[in-house]
Amino acid sequence: MSIHQLFSVDNLISNLVLEKEMGLVDSQIDTFKKQHKPVPEDLIDRKQALEIKMSLLVIQVESGQLTMDQYIAQVKASILKHKKLALTFKGAGKLDGAKQALARSKIMEKEVKEVEDAMANGPLVEE
């Protein structure tokens, strides 16, 4: 995975990472608007891509195309990729990329723990 791949929405697996990225993009858009500057097209495109990716993830889970076990397995694989990527970036002196990859892996680890804990306590049922 390269620095370009790190920023690609296509490589984001985790719902929490998608939400975090959406927050960052929204913050950047707000900054442009507050400064009365036009919002760059690539930022608008990224926001739309994140929204689509999040919607597709929800649809896959709700329709049964993606089980929680499969989702967690994908997130765990992504954690490993991001940790390896962080080491690669660090070795290449690209500390910003290393920090971002490591931060994403920590978000995903938290998400996996929360989901696994919830699954261990049985299905969540609203009363």
Percent of the chain with pLDDT over 90: 76
Per-residue model confidence as pLDDT tens digits over 49-107:
999 999 999 999 899 999 989 999 999 999 999 999 899 999 999 999 899 999 999 99
Kindly state the tokens that stand for 95: 């500390």
Mean pLDDT computed over 7-22: 91
**Which residue is it, tokens 């967690």?**
72
pLDDT score for 11: 86
Q: Answer whether residue 28 shows pLDDT above 60.
A: yes
Per-residue model confidence as pLDDT tens digits over 29-47:
999 999 999 999 999 999 9
pLDDT score for 15: 93
Q: Where are the domains of the chain?
A: 3-119
Report the predicted TM-score, pTM, of the whole model to 2 decimal places: 0.85
Q: Answer whether residue 112 shows pLDDT above 50.
A: yes
pLDDT score for 2: 62
**Which residue is it, tokens 């049922």?**
125
Q: Please give the backbone phi and psi of residue 36, each rounded to the nearest 5 degrees, phi first.
A: 55, 40
Distance separating alpha carbons of residues 49 and 69, to the nearest angstrom: 25
DSSP 30-96: HHHHHTT-PPPHHHHHHHHHHHHHHHHHHHHHHHTSS-HHHHHHHHHHHHHHHHHHHHHHHHTT-HH
pLDDT score for 126: 44
Q: Answer whether residue 3 shows pLDDT above 80.
A: no
